């Protein structure tokens, strides 16, 4: 490793074992999903859209707006409990196998680096060598490709925020018409380039809050990448014709050389370990050569390593699972009950009731209708009570997609029907032949006139 003002630059060696190949396949599938995501449409909407600027969020074609904030809070709560549960069982496996940071770093940027500069030993040599034409060409080519890929990632990242259609418009039309969008892409490009070219594993070991939380989330029953010290120690190389006083670890150091965060897993569980499982592959390879059983380093719990007993779920896991199940059920119930239109009707402030010549009585109301879909909805408001009628001040009969409208109208009832001073009126918001929302409001009138 090269000393550079306190930071040790890491040159991880590549060992292509079974787990690496699985990880490689999973990474490419996830990358495909990430890049295709903004262009997959469900119900005319992007599969996933996080438009924080316009407070519009889309999941699987369902549009969520600020009035769905309670659903958002609930979904976030489910996400947090899921992360806690998942981490308590499987440790930091997300970091090593599915996190976009690791996937891009290990499966894209490092591959390009190896392709241009060679393996770990050659990379280190190149970094330490004086400036030559070869070095300039290699470094120039690497950083140009890094910048291009960062630019691509920045575009995709933006597509999840402003939508793929808006992004394509920015790309097609002159830069001068979309200066803000263009600057955003440039800033994201530089951030991604900085992360993947220089910051690298520091994101996982220092910056990422999830990584910092491991100490709280993990316990002895959590699955982690761990070294079986009972089997491995005392470590050392035995020589032929000598009595073997050592454990299975021959202290070859390969598990350390492959580690992208530069740690020695034999020192026990460490916050820097992202569970990438590369050291498992490396050690398995050594064990195969020595004809000893695999998994001296393996994916196991600390308890399993300590006692040799197989992995068992703890009470904590059952507790988290129960909480998660309840939260998911509540969210599912709310989603099923969620209507396309949300209507609120309130009696107009400062008015009481109006007695009319035709022996009816009326109350004045203000209403707001919000359309939560991605299409215009035509509607009508009808009272459930057949004798009641609605008279609009100004009739509006449609709500634009994702928008809202305000209405003012009278509800008119025959005086003879009024039994109490304050009664409840039920209104149906009807679209087509379907009731899309039901509202209750108060009606005031002197009884038994």
Which residues contact ligand SF4 (rule: CB under 6 A)? Answer: 225, 232, 235, 249-255, 258-261, 263, 265-266, 273-279, 282-283, 286, 296-297
Judged by beta carbon, residue 286 or residue 377, the one nearer ligand SF4 is: 286
- The least distance separating ligand SF4 from the CB of residue 210, rounded to whole angstroms, comes to 15
Q: CA-to-CA distance for 299 and 412, rounded, in angstroms?
A: 72
State whether residue 291 is helix, strand or coil: coil
Judged by beta carbon, residue 45 or residue 106, the one nearer ligand SF4 is: 106
Helix then strand then coil, % of the chain, to nearest 5: 45, 20, 30
Q: CA-to-CA distance for 440 and 449, rounded, in angstroms?
A: 24
Distance of CA 350 to the CA centre of its chain: 48
Please check whether residue 355 is in contact with residue 116, taking contact to mean a CB–CB distance below 8 angstroms.
Answer: no
- The least distance separating ligand SF4 from the CB of residue 9, rounded to whole angstroms, comes to 16
Judged by beta carbon, residue 7 or residue 438, the one nearer ligand SF4 is: 7
Q: CA-to-CA distance for 155 and 52, rounded, in angstroms?
A: 16
Q: Is the dihedral of CA 434, 438, 441, 447 positive or negative?
A: positive
- The least distance separating ligand SF4 from the CB of residue 50, rounded to whole angstroms, comes to 29
Judged by beta carbon, residue 93 or residue 154, the one nearer ligand SF4 is: 93
Q: CA-to-CA distance for 340 and 379, rounded, in angstroms?
A: 11
Please check whether residue 223 is in contact with residue 93, taking contact to mean a CB–CB distance below 8 angstroms.
Answer: yes
Judged by beta carbon, residue 277 or residue 360, the one nearer ligand SF4 is: 277
Q: CA-to-CA distance for 87 and 68, rounded, in angstroms?
A: 29
- The least distance separating ligand SF4 from the CB of residue 248, rounded to whole angstroms, comes to 7
Quickly tell me which residue has 């910056």 as its tokens.
Answer: 207
Judged by beta carbon, residue 46 or residue 277, the one nearer ligand SF4 is: 277
Judged by beta carbon, residue 96 or residue 181, the one nearer ligand SF4 is: 96
Q: Are strands 389-392 and 41-42 parallel, antiparallel or unpaired?
A: unpaired
Judged by beta carbon, residue 194 or residue 253, the one nearer ligand SF4 is: 253
State whether residue 131 is helix, strand or coil: coil
- The least distance separating ligand SF4 from the CB of residue 254, rounded to whole angstroms, comes to 4
- The least distance separating ligand SF4 from the CB of residue 329, rounded to whole angstroms, comes to 36
State whether residue 140 is helix, strand or coil: helix
DSSP symbols for 356-376: -TTSEEEEEEEEEEEE-SSS-
- The least distance separating ligand SF4 from the CB of residue 299, rounded to whole angstroms, comes to 9
- The least distance separating ligand SF4 from the CB of residue 280, rounded to whole angstroms, comes to 7
- The least distance separating ligand SF4 from the CB of residue 242, rounded to whole angstroms, comes to 18
Q: CA-to-CA distance for 19 and 294, rounded, in angstroms?
A: 13
Judged by beta carbon, residue 45 or residue 304, the one nearer ligand SF4 is: 304
Q: Is residue 1 packed enough to be buried (19+ CB in 10 Å), middle (13-18) or exposed (0-12)?
A: exposed
């Amino acid at each position: 490793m090269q000393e550079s003002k306190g930071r040790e630059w890491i040159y991880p060696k590549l060992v292509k074992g079974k787990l690496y190949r699985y990880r490689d396949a999973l990474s490419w599938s996830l990358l495909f999903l990430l890049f295709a995501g903004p262009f997959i449409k469900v119900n005319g909407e992007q599969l996933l859209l996080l438009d924080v600027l316009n407070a519009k969020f889309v999941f699987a074609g369902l549009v969520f707006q600020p009035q769905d904030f309670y659903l958002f809070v609930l979904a976030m709560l489910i996400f947090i409990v899921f992360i806690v549960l998942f981490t308590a069982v499987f440790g930091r496996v997300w970091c090593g196998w599915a996190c976009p940071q690791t996937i891009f770093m290990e499966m894209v940027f490092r591959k390009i680096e190896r392709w241009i500069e060679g393996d770990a030993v050659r990379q280190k040599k190149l970094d330490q060598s004086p400036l030559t034409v070869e070095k300039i060409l290699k470094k120039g080519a690497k950083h140009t490709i890094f910048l291009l890929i960062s630019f691509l990632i920045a575009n995709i990242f933006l597509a999840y925020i402003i939508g793929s259609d808006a992004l394509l418009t920015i790309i097609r039309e002159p830069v001068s018409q979309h200066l803000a969008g263009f600057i955003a892409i440039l800033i994201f490009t530089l951030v991604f380039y900085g992360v993947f070219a220089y910051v690298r594993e520091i994101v996982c070991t220092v910056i990422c809050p999830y990584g910092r939380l491991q100490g709280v989330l993990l316990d002895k029953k959590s699955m982690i990448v761990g070294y079986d010290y009972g089997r491995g120690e005392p470590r050392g190389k035995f020589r032929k014709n000598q009595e073997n006083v050592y454990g299975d670890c021959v202290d070859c150091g390969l598990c350390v050389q492959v580690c992208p965060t530069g740690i020695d897993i034999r020192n026990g569980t460490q916050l820097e370990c992202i569970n990438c499982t590369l050291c498992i592959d490396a050690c398995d390879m050594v064990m195969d050569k020595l004809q000893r059983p695999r998994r001296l380093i393996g994916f196991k719990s600390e308890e399993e390593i300590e006692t040799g007993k197989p992995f068992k779920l703890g009470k904590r896991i059952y507790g988290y699972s129960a909480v998660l199940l309840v939260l998911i059920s509540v969210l599912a119930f709310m989603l099923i009950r969620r209507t396309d239109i949300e209507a609120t009707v309130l009696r107009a402030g400062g008015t009481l009731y109006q007695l009319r010549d035709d022996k009816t009585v009326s109350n004045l109301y203000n209403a707001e209708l919000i359309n939560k879909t991605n299409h215009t909805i035509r509607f009508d408001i009808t009272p459930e009570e057949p004798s009641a009628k609605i008279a609009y001040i100004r009739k509006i009969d449609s709500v634009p997609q994702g928008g809202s409208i305000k209405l003012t109208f009278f509800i008119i009832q025959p005086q003879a029907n009024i039994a109490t001073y304050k009664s409840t009126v039920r209104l149906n918001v009807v679209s087509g032949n379907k009731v899309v929302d039901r509202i209750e409001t108060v009606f005031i009138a002197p009884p038994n006139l």
